[in-house]
Chain A
Amino acid sequence: MIQLTIDGRAIQVQDGATVMEAARANGIDIPHLCYHPDLSVSGGCRLCLVEIEGRPFPVPGCGLACADDMVIRTQSEQLSAMRREIIDLFISDHPLDCVTCDKAGACLLQKYAYEYGISETSHDFEVSRTLYQDDNPFFLRDHQYCILCGRCVRVCSEIVGANAIEIVGRGFESHVATPFDGPMIDSSCVFCGSCVQVCPTAALMPVSRRGQGREWDLDRVKTICGYCGVGCEIEYARRNGKIVYAQARPDAPVNGEFLCSKGRYGWDFATSPQRLTRPMIRRDVAYDLGLTDDPWTLPDSSPLADEKPRIEDSFVPVDWDTALNLIGERLADTVKEYGPDSVMGLSSARCTNEENYLFQKFMRAGIGTNNVDHCARL
């Protein structure tokens, strides 16, 4: 354990902790842009400068290892002046489009410009990067907003392991790029959106949220992903009851801030026009019951043989009571005539615990059979 003082508070930390980590663990927020708790330290933005007692110059707190009896100050007149100068430089080539920007309210650069009272740059304004890449339906890359913090590059290599992007070029030329600036789909990108998640500005944004409302227009609900068995927690940002985009939160118990492509972008199936919205009875059964006047027989060809089969062609919609009564009656008849073991229940690994529980209870305590299974094996 190491003992040090930050902003007048005595703090104890594990060996090897940085000043940034020590401060955060104790609720002291040091301004930062390139630092991210899940990524390696880059030390590029220098916004996290802190003063160490007995040393002439401030140093970046994100890379500074704690040492015994260190005395650290994270706020001072001198530090504020330096931070103002850094932000001033950042916004000398970052358009202040905050009035129309979708990221407003969640942008870190905007946050610090506000906190340090910088409304315009004192330098000559010139955008160094102008590339605008909308080459995929997952996310947009609008380089004029990029501050070259490198978080996206690090997350792609250190967490995702995809190594799809890197910072290329020097000076004004430098930007985040796929090999030869090609489209994302030709790179090793897996469209996980982790880079979008950690980008502090509007340089990387989900396509689905373009023009769909700003942070304060959206409400948020967290639930568990319905795809694989990892159990990622996903936060959906909604407007008027519709999903605008999905992201993950650092406190998500399993996945932290990270998701895969299906979880982050694959939620739009839910509003597909092909969803089933009414109970339906097959036309031949409906005819026998007098629910339709047209006789019909199930074709012999496999449903797989038909390229785009339409469910309306084979089924007629009915109300819930008609459907539920018919099922109750036919199941009862089957059990009366052939016994409980002539019924089989197939439940689902995509349904909830409550649904699976009730389903097997129905098969066992209702029907009276252990013929209940799901595709655990498939």
Chain B
Amino acid sequence: MTNSIREIRDADCLFITGSNTAVSHPVISYEVIRAVKRGANLIIVDPRRIPLVDHATLFLQIKPGTDIYVFLAIMHTIIREGWVNDTFIAERTEGFDKFKAVVEEYPPERAALISGVPVEQIEAAARIYALGERASGTSIYDDKRGHSAILYAMGITQRSNGTDLVMTLANLAMLGGHVGKPSTGVNPLRGQSNVQGACDLGCLVNVFPGYQAVTDEAKRTTLAQAWNVPSLPGEVGLTIVEAMHAASEGKVRAVYVMGENPMMSDPNTSHVEHALRSLDLLVVQDIFPSETAFLAHIILPAAASLEKDGSFTNTERRVQLLKPVIAAPGEARPDWQITGEIAARFDHYLGIAREPGYWVFPSAEAIFKEIAAVTPIYGGMSYQRLAGAGISWPCPTPDHAGTQYLHVGKFSRGLGKFNPVQAHDPAEQPDDEYPLILSTGRVLYHYHTGTMTRRSEPLAWREPGGFVEINPADADGLQGSGGVVIESRRGSVRAEVRISDRVPPGTIFLAFHWRESPANMLTQDFALDPVAKIPEYKVCAVRLKQA
């Protein structure tokens, strides 16, 4: 997030898209509710009638995959009506003219035809967002223009044009100048407790800790020196989905999995299973015997986050300390101890000698000291400083207070760039054979592949089994509660039916928590976003059969 969670309550206008906030980030939805109660406008752009719609002042219910047309039309309207923030654009951005030329091709009438959202709604959303209009009450900010914030999640990123969509939202924010001030910004809500930290610390194929590109020779040399190795690999690595293809082809031979469950979380399960079975070595380190663990050669028992020291970085970039609450069961160990031991033994078999303590650390805190030394955005942090409220990065030096919101006065790249983005349709469109669209995601009481929540008694009581949400209009002929078989070009899945007008006609929704109805048997892994390599979980074509 560019801005912090607490700022949401003071926003004048909130623009939420591709995020079922009340379900995936309930505590952020509480901030949204507070803002609405204080008189903020809430605009929601989503194909599903999500729970927050009950509190929205404007709901743009789009056909799945057509949001890009609506965003472009909103920007078209803002420019046409002169609601742009001229000063901001002149002083802080570049590329506006080229961008404007593209946006001119997308009037609201065109978006209305494709998305099903009426022109008046698109124009109202444009005005309210751009000017930061409130529904009632007075702003706590005394600017001419109200403060508008955009919140989004996987509904935007898990798309074959996800990068385009993210750039589009950034363009929208810059048009209104809603950046670099409290209660504004472009705010991705991240789904997992430490997904932000895993990215920050370089568990990505193209960057070292602190987003330093692996292809940057100077960065590589500096880090090699810090790590005391002759050199570091300079080629961008394989992402999960690419590695699964490579494993099927015999190019990847060994996979070490720490706390992930690709058999449930990755697209096209049959293909993932084939890939994992072809490996010479699959090591799975986890707290439960996940579906992936059953295919492993070796399984290692890990401690859960409730059982260890360490730190997490949340979606607003705040680094906070963990404390062990209970003891780990049996011989389970914290992941950092296990990885360190594996690395030391790997060295031993290759006859590599390194200084003692290179891999095996006495504590999580000792690792954090090394993190601070090689990760500029974490440079000023220490366990001592993190105790209490934590610190949000960037925090480059020990006397730096951390950064509540980004891009004050200037962007990290200098001027903000308007990226001229054209609309693209989802890779797999419904057709006569597969007439429905399947979206995947989460339900409130479960988390991810369900390994934890489905073993929690109260949560499993509230939502015991998998179900697919189907609009009444598509449920004709599916009598009784016998369940339904969902088929895509990749596979088929059986699920119980929940008739619901939360999904629009033509779209069905199946969460990916359910091992008895594994949604990713159906999803496709061929059309990844070209830049972010994210699979299109939110749109694939399916058909229904009576079970």
Contact = CB atoms under 8 A, between A and B. Distances in A.
A275 B389 CA distance: 32
Chain B CB within 10 A, most for which of A265, A344, A347: A344
A185 interface: yes
B302 A276 contact: yes
Contact of A353 (B291, B319, B348, B444): B319
Given A311-B293, A334-B254, A276 B288 contact: yes
Contact of B294 (A136, A233, A314, A360): A314
A354 B383 CA distance: 12
B304 interface: yes
B456 A370 contact: no
B197 A352 contact: yes
Contact of B194 (A160, A266, A271, A350): A350
Contact of B462 (A158, A185, A260, A377): A185
A254 B311 contact: no
Nearest to B190: A229
A242 B326 contact: yes
A289 B297 CA distance: 12
Nearest to A348: B259
Main secondary structure of the interface of B (DSSP, over half): mixed
Contacts of A344: 237-238, 243, 246-247, 252, 254-256
Contact of A190 (B26, B252, B273): B26
B334 A355 contact: yes
B219 interface: no
**Consensus secondary structure, chain A interface:** mixed
Contacts of A345: 255-256, 258
A315 to B, nearest CB: 6
A334 B280 contact: yes
B478 interface: no
Given A229-B315, A355-B339, A271 B329 contact: yes
Given A275-B288, A343-B252, A270 B306 contact: yes
A371 B322 contact: no
Contacts of B239: 373, 377
B322 A340 contact: no
A277 B331 CA distance: 5
A52 to B, nearest CB: 27
Contacts of B37: 158
A302 interface: yes
For chain B, the bracket of interface size reads: 35 or more
Given A253-B389, A324-B345, A342-B252, A364 B208 contact: yes
A285 interface: yes
Interface in B412-469: 444-447, 451-453, 455-459, 461-462
Interface in B317-339: 318-327, 329-336, 338-339
B99 interface: no
Interface stretch (A27-35, A75-83, A170-178, A325-333): A325-333
Interface stretch (B72-80, B85-93, B121-129, B527-535): B527-535
Contacts of A331: 254, 256, 281, 342, 346, 349
Interface string A231-273: 1110010100111000000000111001111110111111110
A323 B286 CA distance: 14
A161 B55 contact: yes
A362 interface: yes
A353 B391 CA distance: 14
B312 A352 contact: yes
B205 A371 contact: yes
B277 to A, nearest CB: 8
Contacts of B196: 229
Contacts of A349: 191-195, 198
A227 interface: yes
Contact of A279 (B298, B375, B516): B298
A25 interface: no
A55 interface: no
Contacts of B361: 358
Contact of A261 (B201, B306, B367, B459): B459
A231 B457 contact: no
A227 to B, nearest CB: 5
B350 A332 contact: yes
A353 B371 contact: yes
Interface in B240-296: 240, 243, 246-247, 251-260, 262-263, 265-266, 269-270, 273, 277, 280-281, 283, 286-289, 291, 293-296
B96 interface: no
A348 B256 CA distance: 11
Interface stretch (A66-74, A97-105, A140-148, A216-224): A216-224
Contacts of A373: 203-205, 237-240, 243
Contacts of A24: none
Given A161-B54, A360-B201, A229 B445 contact: no
B209 interface: yes
A315 B293 CA distance: 10
Contact of A375 (B240, B243, B390): B240
B253 A334 contact: yes
Contacts of A311: 289, 293-294, 299
Interface in B392-428: none
B93 to A, nearest CB: 28
Contacts of A285: 297-298
A320 interface: yes
A230 B260 contact: no
B281 A224 contact: no
B24 to A, nearest CB: 7
With a 10 A CB-CB cut-off, give which of A225, A275, A302, A333 has the most chain B CB atoms. Answer: A275
A269 B306 CA distance: 10
B301 A278 contact: yes
Given A261-B444, A343-B253, A371 B367 contact: no
A352 B336 contact: yes
Contact of A160 (B30, B306, B310, B331): B30
Given A228-B192, A266-B459, A329-B345, A372 B301 contact: no
B189 interface: yes
Contact of A338 (B191, B253, B260): B253
B33 interface: yes
Contact of B304 (A222, A226, A325): A226
A191 to B, nearest CB: 6
A343 B256 contact: yes
A266 B459 CA distance: 6
A374 B54 CA distance: 35
B475 interface: no
Given A354-B336, A370-B214, A377-B157, A270 B301 contact: no
29 contacts: A161-B30, A161-B32, A161-B33, A192-B26, A229-B196, A229-B315, A231-B318, A254-B6, A260-B444, A262-B453, A265-B456, A269-B456, A275-B287, A276-B293, A278-B330, A280-B299, A303-B263, A327-B345, A329-B349, A332-B349, A342-B252, A346-B257, A347-B198, A347-B260, A348-B260, A353-B310, A358-B361, A373-B240, A375-B265
Which 10 A/B pairs are nearest by Cβ-Cβ distance? A277-B330, A231-B314, A328-B345, A352-B310, A348-B259, A370-B237, A260-B26, A332-B349, A229-B190, A303-B294
Interface of A: 136-138, 158-161, 185, 190-192, 207, 221-233, 236, 238, 241-243, 253-255, 258-263, 265-272, 274-282, 285, 298, 302-304, 307, 309, 311, 314-315, 320, 323-336, 338, 340-362, 364-378
Given A350-B193, A358-B336, A364-B233, 5 more contacts: A231-B193, A269-B452, A275-B329, A360-B202, A369-B233
